[in-house]
């Protein structure tokens, strides 16, 4: 009799737990809906939105990085030492350290908010930043990543690469990727401008990783432009970093919902 009663209590407790679990998503959805003043949002959708939320504000800082003076002639890379590298290129390959665009702007400049966001903690995105080794070159040559965001490193070449990254503020790693198609994931645990990664098999290979504690960074491309979107209104110091020409900083104020322009200039 006593044994049967215990079983009955376990059954009742189980039903209560099941009811409790079943009611949670509805409560959470209702809370989400109330918070936004709209229709209730399903939990999974709300979680996606949080994970991919790009920013905490509605302000933008944008600009270009100009290059003053005559563009230096690009240096060619000799890949004769590894036929697997050389046969992937029909055209000569040029070094990527100084790339001046036809419109007089500079490529591969890392621009980021250096100060003005202190006291705010940003969750790293679950989506990995990517660093590919293709044609025995790093792609991209300069990348930005958030602290603790995954970095997916791929070998797209049928030759051995090692990825030797030497951060001062995070754990260094030296990763061998002997097979085409290999992928590895790493991360950096502390901010650092910049982390240099090299391949010891191919001495011309170098990549630079800007590790920041927030999502407000960019790298100039073929148009020399950058755009930091979704910033909270405030006063910021921006820094522009280039591997040959060093760093420049500028201060800027941006109002709520406004767009502020900041241009940088490096000279050769």
Interface residues with Cu ion (CB under 5 A)? 161, 199, 201-202, 205
Instruction: Report in angstroms how near the CB of residue 201 gets to Cu ion at its nearest.
Output: 4
Nearer to Cu ion, 41 or 85 (CB): 85
User: Smaller CB distance to Cu ion: residue 186 or 202?
Assistant: 202
Question: Of the two residues 147 and 209, which places its CB atom closer to Cu ion in the complex?
Answer: 209
User: How far apart are CB 125 and Cu ion at their closest, in Å?
Assistant: 28
Question: Which of residues 113 and 199 has its CB atom nearest to Cu ion in the complex?
Answer: 199
Least distance in angstroms from the C-beta of 77 to Cu ion: 12
- CA–CA separation, 262 vs 207, rounded Å? 26
Residue 140: asked if its preceding bond is cis (omega within 30°), the reply is yes
Please report how close the Cβ of residue 195 comes to Cu ion at its closest, in angstroms: 17
- The least distance separating Cu ion from the CB of residue 89, rounded to whole angstroms, comes to 14
* Residue with smaller CB distance to Cu ion, 46 or 142: 142
Query: Closer CB to Cu ion, residue 100 or residue 205?
Result: 205
Please list, residue by residue across 224-234, b when 16 or more beta carbons sit within 10 angstroms of its beta carbon and e when fewer do. Answer: bbbebbebbee
Q: Is 203 exposed, middle or buried (0-12, 13-18, 19+ CB in 10 A)?
A: exposed
Q: How far is the CB of 136 from Cu ion (least distance, A)?
A: 6
**Rounded distance, CA 37 to CA 42, Å?**
14
Q: Which has the closest alpha carbon to 109: 150, 145, 70, 66?
A: 66
Looking at the Cβ atoms of 113 and 153, the one nearer to Cu ion is: 153
Measured distance CA(216)–CA(114) in Å, rounded:
9
Alpha helices, DSSP H only, in the chain?
2-36, 43-52, 83-86
Give the CB-nearest residue to Cu ion: 199
Contact 61, 217 (CB under 8 A): no
Cβ-count burial 40-56 (b if 16+ within 10 Å, e if not): bbeeeebeeeeeeeebe
Q: Measured from the CB of residue 93, what is the shortest distance to Cu ion in angstroms?
A: 13
Task: Please tell me the distance from the alpha carbon of residue 21 to that of residue 63, in angstroms, as a whole number.
Answer: 50
């Amino acid at each position: 009799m006593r044994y049967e009663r215990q079983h009955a209590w376990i059954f009742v407790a189980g039903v209560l737990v099941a009811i409790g679990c079943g009611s949670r998503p509805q409560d959470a959805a209702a809370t989400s809906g109330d918070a936004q003043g709209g229709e209730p949002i399903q939990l999974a959708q709300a979680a996606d939105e949080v994970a991919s939320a790009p920013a905490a504000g509605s302000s933008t800082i944008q600009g270009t990085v100009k290059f003053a003076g005559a563009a230096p002639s690009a240096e060619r890379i000799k890949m004769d030492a590894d036929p697997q590298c050389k046969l992937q290129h029909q055209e000569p390959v040029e070094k990527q350290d100084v790339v001046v665009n036809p419109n007089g702007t500079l490529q591969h400049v890392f621009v980021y908010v250096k100060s003005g966001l202190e006291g705010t903690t940003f969750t790293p995105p679950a989506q990995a930043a990517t660093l590919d080794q293709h044609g025995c070159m790093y792609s991209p040559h300069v990348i930005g990543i958030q602290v603790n965001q995954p970095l997916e490193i791929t070998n797209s070449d049928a030759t051995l690469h090692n990825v030797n990254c030497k951060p001062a503020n995070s754990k260094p790693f030296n990763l061998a990727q002997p097979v085409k198609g290999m992928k590895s994931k790493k991360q950096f645990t502390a901010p650092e401008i910049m982390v240099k990664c090299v391949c010891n098999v191919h001495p011309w290979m170098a990549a630079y990783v800007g590790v920041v504690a927030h999502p407000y960074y960019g790298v100039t491309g073929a148009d020399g432009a950058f755009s930091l979107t979704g910033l909270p209104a405030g006063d910021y110091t921006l820094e522009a970093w280039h591997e040959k020409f060093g760093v420049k900083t500028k201060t800027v104020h941006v109002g709520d919902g406004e767009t502020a322009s900041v241009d940088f200039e490096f000279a050769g």
